[in-house]
Structure 1
Amino acid sequence: MANENSIVAIHRTPFNRRSDVDKKKLKEMGPDRPDLKLEQISTDRGRTYKRSFSSSLYANRSWLAGCAVSNAFFCFPCLLFQCTGTEILWTTTGMRDLKHFTQKCKKHESSRCHLTNSMKLSLFGRLSIAEQLDEGYRIGIRKHNEEVRKNRHILSRIIDCIKFCGAFELALRGHDESESSDNPGIFRGLVDVVASLDGALKDHLDSATVFKGTSKTVQNELLDCMLAVVREKIISEIQSSDFLSIQADETTDISTQTQLVLVLRYLNGANLEERFFEFIPLQSATAATIAMALKERLAAILPGEQKVKLICQAYDGASVMRGTSSGVQKRIQDDYPTAHYIHCYAHQLNLIMQQATSHIVKVKNFFSDLGGLAAFFSRLPTASNVRWNFHSRAVNTVFEHRDDLIDCFERIRASDGFDDKTSHEAGGHIRLLEDPDFNFFLKLFHRIMPHVDILYAKLQNRNIDSVYINRCIQQFQEDIQKIRDSVHAMVVEHRSGSEQPRKRRAIDQDELKRIATEVCDTILGHTKERFAFKDHLISATLLDSPQFDHYLDAFPEVALATTLKAYPVLDGSRLKTELTLIYGSEEFRTCRGAVDLYQLFKDNNLSEVFSETETLLKIIITTPMATAEAERCFSTLKRVKTFLRNTMTQDRLNALAMLSMEKRLVTDMIDFNQKVIERFAGLKERRAKFLYK
């Protein structure tokens, strides 16, 4: 159990939330100074220096404390009092840079914030005898704290209302927020509903003159504080994880502002997390601008020696992102060498289907005709070159309701209630739906598209890894190969049951077979090429359970060597020994992917036995195979920043988007409201009292 003066205990129960007795006890105990497991290797002028922790580092610095959990140094007075402007390096993240230790200590102990916090610590608890005996002083303290308790309760209710609006993407402000307005907005209406159930809040709203808490300024300040609290939580989770991946994509919002979304993927204990972090406004969508914006955020998330945690960067495959000489991925990898690039596999699947359906004229015409049907009926799913599940829906709708569509078009032709153009188009669609060649392609793609949909849906899942996806891709290839093998039978069956078209020249049987085979071959060829596991992704093949029997006979030396080159953090000899043991054990062959195997290690306390394999599993699981979460963020962006809210500031947009996308994280933080209140109280001097004495 941690000591009361340990960094962990102080983070868990901040100084300002403790009783006076506990505060005095903590001051008497002084800073905790455990031995830290810190080592740092650096090179200077061709010579290598190794620095490690020494207890002498605590000497001559009474303010210095250490944390054995995070292996970092902290400032004891700043950690306790945290006046406005205090560096988070010495209170939250901790200082681990041994090379610049003396320099950073001198800079910090000369800062105004450190001196202020040190003075507060020295004077804390030193009351004169007269003050201690003064009953009026004690009564004043009690009154002050009672007022603070009431103000905190009121502010907590207001925070709950903002959280509700943010979680459900509701507009906070109304057309007219005056007291007599009939349309004050959802936030004001929600506050009034809560006040009807909370007498203290109702009395406050009726009588408040100094601080009411419902103004736009207070809303924005509270939103800023909420955003900061959630980001601090995310950063703390990342710092306790071993690896991090980023996903980024850009779009244009309703106000034509280019927005770059940053999503962070990491393991938080046994849970895989994909967290929205920020929408970043861009002046231009060039590689240099995007890379600079990402580097600025990464510097705050992964300071100093933590750069090695970034193992992957995933983008949509646009040339500005994937360029190998000056693209974003190359610029990021220059600063983060282990940040390997992933071209989003969902976009890869789109490109595969685009290639299969656009370079063959007959197939291209089929989808053009299908689009004409969709245009005739506004509710029929429209075919799209970006979202191929819409292609599937259009194919399935026409295939399953062909007879109904023909009947509908015939009724339109026979009716007098439609204009000549509509009647003419209906006649064309009847001939199209009765055309044997159109129906053949309709049947062909009705068989192909469900397999595309299944793979696409799997790629949208958050909890996927490259091992699992590799098996899904293999299954997809097998399914398409079966369709290819059945093309001849499909053509024969189709020709035998079809009537000859009236006006269109029918495609002969051999030509239909050739086109259908070419479609399947194109899908298979591009799938094999685009989804091939090369470079760092080959590491996933080491843990592909269907290959374990083969690996027992011939160990995958090439894959292991490639993996060790991509991830130098791994111990090659131990990893090979562990993998050999796994290949020969029946218990591990039922695992469907890296997530299952990692969970098996955790459930059976095998982490120490298979330490290097677990590290490899963490790398594989942390590596995203798609940027689906970034696309989900764009959906939220469109709901939050609408036409009627197109002048929303960037900070407000990020805060509302964070409350929406990370609502579960906010709910799980039990002390979220109190942290927001403390940050809100520290923003500036306020006439209303929110801090206890």
Structure 2
Amino acid sequence: METNQNVSASLDSEYSRQIKENRNIMASIVKTVMFCASNNISLRGHSVDNGNFMNLLKFRIDAGDETLKSHFTHMAGNAKYTSPTIQNEILGLAKGLIVQDIVTDANQSVFFSVIADESCDISGKEQLSIVLRYTKATEVYESFIGFVEMNSVSAESISTSILSHLTSTGLDLQKLVGQGYDGASTMAGHVSGVQKRIRDKYPRALFVHCAAHCLNLAINDQSKVPTIRNTCDIIREIIRFFRESPKRRTCLGLNIPLFCPTRWSEKYKSIRIFKCNFKRILESLGALECDSSGDTRAKAFSLKCALEKSGVTYAVCLIGRFSALIEPLARKLQAVGVCVPDVKNLITSLQNVLSQNRINSDTALDIYKEACEVLNVQQLTTPRIAEKQVYRDNVNAESGPQYFYRAVYIPYIEGLSSLHERFSDNSSFFNLLSIIPPNKPTKLDEIERLYCLDNLESEVILWRSSLSSQLKPECFHELLLSANDYPSVRNIVQIIMALPATTVEAERSFSCMKRVKTWLRSTMTSDRLSDICVLHCHHEKISEEKINQIVSNMAGSRRRMNF
């Protein structure tokens, strides 16, 4: 009897030792996959057995991992756990654990919002990025949870994909209070757009138009002024002209960024740098016009002639000055966790500056003098007044400064004034902001019914009277603490924090997508792309505990090795 017990104990001990060894082997493989994914290193090369993943495993063996060496030496080829199928399974399990952590935090928060945007990957597939915005204590988080491949980009298809993806992750959609998209009619349409379809099912999910998109649209409204539109095209062509050739770039001695179609703050930066180096650019074009040959000489001559026109020079100085004001605002809108009240304060500040410049003609005179100094002339040339004018308006002016003030400066400033229309207070979420001083509370009864709150009006009155005069309305941490005794007010403050101000986190996921899925990796499947991008964006969440959990999850199904 004792012998049988000893044999059984020995078998159990050997089995436990084998399980532990197999788990260590699998952990080494999982760690290697995680290292490649989190650092955006392609796993495979020209063949399955020749790539970064396999070379890293060989590196681990060379570094002294005898258990892994024994595994690859003695184990059968179909039980080495390095195949693409196993890689995809590990990536999927890891992504699932990270997304589950994010979903748990979102469900534990009082409210959350969804942010979505769509872009095309390198292989031509439409990818829908989904981001969650939620609060944790007094901090705001925006977390990317994956891509969804879209076969159709209709409002019905996109809204169905968003809701089904959120439901599949286990989110409590009764806590959904906000939607953040761009202003495309498919997404923002108030009749049958994505936001309307989702709000029909979840009435609390208010739609917020991305503030960064709104600002860019307001800036684009300036293109209605012909001089401004033509000047922007000339600036774009000159920047491209110098960047096309290392010789031209060396002649300029400056690297001006291109007009980036997605990173709008770079556009304002490009114009600001162009304006600050106006004279150097003119001198470089003149040098290329004289010393170069062929197409370079002809193009340098035409661009120099275009840039030396009085209207263009004045417009460059004008745009450059106001781009310097807009650039920091655009950069702040790209910050992580920016809230709707922050956006409103920033836009209000910009509107005040523009109003002051609209009234004060000294700014226009300073710009005129700067343009004269750049061209080294006493006065800028003004167009003649024709009896019948087709392509531009006849502007009656007694002097050059007056002409450019009326013909260019005022239309440009009034074009920027469309910020008021783009950021209109008529949006429904501005009713929520009205409870925060110094705003006047409006439509509290509607808010109370929508969010099933109790005694909101009385709580708002008492809460506002109890606030310290030194309390900053934009400091949500202090606002939350001050509303501890007023549950309905506290809920409103948390809803405001959860509302998405911009969609920049979705834009960042597209930057990640472009880094991951390149021309060399264009055959990557959409599931693998989504898994790697989530791991790459949330690399800080990969821990030893998650590695062990992945190994345990893999042990839940039949394997050739026991884990």
CA distance in 1, matches of 2:3, 2:356: 88
Query: What's the TM-score, normalizing by structure 2?
Result: 0.87
CA distance in 2, matches of 1:214, 1:144: 24
What are the residue-to-residue correspondences of 1:527-538 with 2, within 5 Å?
Answer: 527-533=419-425, 534-538=427-431
Cα pair 2:272 2:324 within 8 Å, conserved: no
Query: Which residue of structure 1 lines up, in the alignment, with residue 149 of structure 2?
Result: 281
Indicate which of 20, 24, 47 corresponds to 1:176.
47
What are the residue-to-residue correspondences of 1:435-584 with 2, within 5 Å?
Answer: 435-491=309-365, 494=368, 497=373, 499=377, 505=383, 508-514=400-406, 515-524=408-417, 526-533=418-425, 534-544=427-437, 547=438, 556-558=440-442, 560-569=444-453, 571-573=455-457, 575-583=459-467
SS in 2 for 1:225: helix
Large movers: runs of 4+ above 4 Å: 130-133, 384-387, 495-498, 500-504
Indicate which of 44, 60, 72 corresponds to 1:194.
60
Query: Which residue of structure 2 lines up, in the alignment, with residue 371 of structure 1?
Result: 236
Cα pair 2:314 2:367 within 8 Å, conserved: no
CA distance in 2, matches of 1:620, 1:277: 22
Query: Which residue of structure 2 lines up, in the alignment, with residue 73 of structure 1?
Result: none
Query: Which residue of structure 1 lines up, in the alignment, with residue 251 of structure 2?
Result: none
Q: Per-residue displacement from partner, 1:474-507 (whole Å, max 9, x unpaired)?
A: 1111222233334445336625756278998488
CA distance in 2, matches of 1:408, 1:395: 17
CA distance in 1, matches of 2:363, 2:351: 20
Say yes or no: does 1:313 pair with 2:179: yes
Look up the equivalent residue of 2:241 and give its one-letter code: F
Indicate which of 214, 218, 225 corresponds to 1:352.
218
Q: Per-residue displacement from partner, 1:100-154 (whole Å, max 9, x unpaired)?
A: xxxxxxxxxxxxxxxxxxxxxxxxxxxxxx7997222222222111111111112
> In terms of Rg, which structure is larger?
1
CA distance in 2, matches of 1:658, 1:219: 15
Indicate which of 96, 117, 130 corresponds to 1:249.
117
Cα distance, 1:307 vs structure 2: 2.9
RMSD, aligned α-carbons = 2.6
SS in 2 for 1:134: helix
Cα distance, 1:445 vs structure 2: 1.2
Cα distance, 1:450 vs structure 2: 2.0
Cα distance, 1:455 vs structure 2: 1.6
What are the residue-to-residue correspondences of 1:31-430 with 2, within 5 Å?
Answer: 134-178=5-49, 184-197=50-63, 198-209=65-76, 211-301=79-169, 306-356=172-222, 358-378=223-243, 380-383=256-259, 387-415=263-291, 417-419=292-294, 421-430=295-304
CA distance in 1, matches of 2:333, 2:104: 28
SS in 2 for 1:227: helix
SS in 1 for 2:304: helix
Cα distance, 1:509 vs structure 2: 3.0
Query: What's the TM-score, normalizing by structure 1?
Result: 0.72
- Any unmatched runs of 5+ in structure 2? 244-254, 385-394
Cα distance, 1:468 vs structure 2: 1.8
SS in 2 for 1:161: helix
Cα pair 1:259 1:280 within 8 Å, conserved: yes
Cα pair 1:246 1:313 within 8 Å, conserved: yes
Cα distance, 1:621 vs structure 2: 0.9
CA distance 1:523–1:280, shift in 2 (3 Å): same
Return the structure number with greater relative CO, CA threshold 8 A, min gap 6. Answer: 2
Look up the equivalent residue of 1:191 and give its one-letter code: L
SS in 2 for 1:284: coil
CA distance in 1, matches of 2:463, 2:133: 26
SS in 2 for 1:542: coil
Look up the equivalent residue of 2:61 and give its one-letter code: A
Identity rate, percent:
25
Cα distance, 1:361 vs structure 2: 1.1
- Any unmatched runs of 5+ in structure 1? 1-129, 179-183
Query: Which residue of structure 2 lines up, in the alignment, with residue 636 of structure 1?
Result: 512
CA distance in 1, matches of 2:353, 2:192: 39
SS in 2 for 1:174: coil
- How many residues align? The count is 530
CA distance in 2, matches of 1:321, 1:328: 5
Higher mean alpha-carbon deviation, 344-353 vs 489-498, is at 489-498
Query: Which residue of structure 2 lines up, in the alignment, with residue 674 of structure 1?
Result: 548
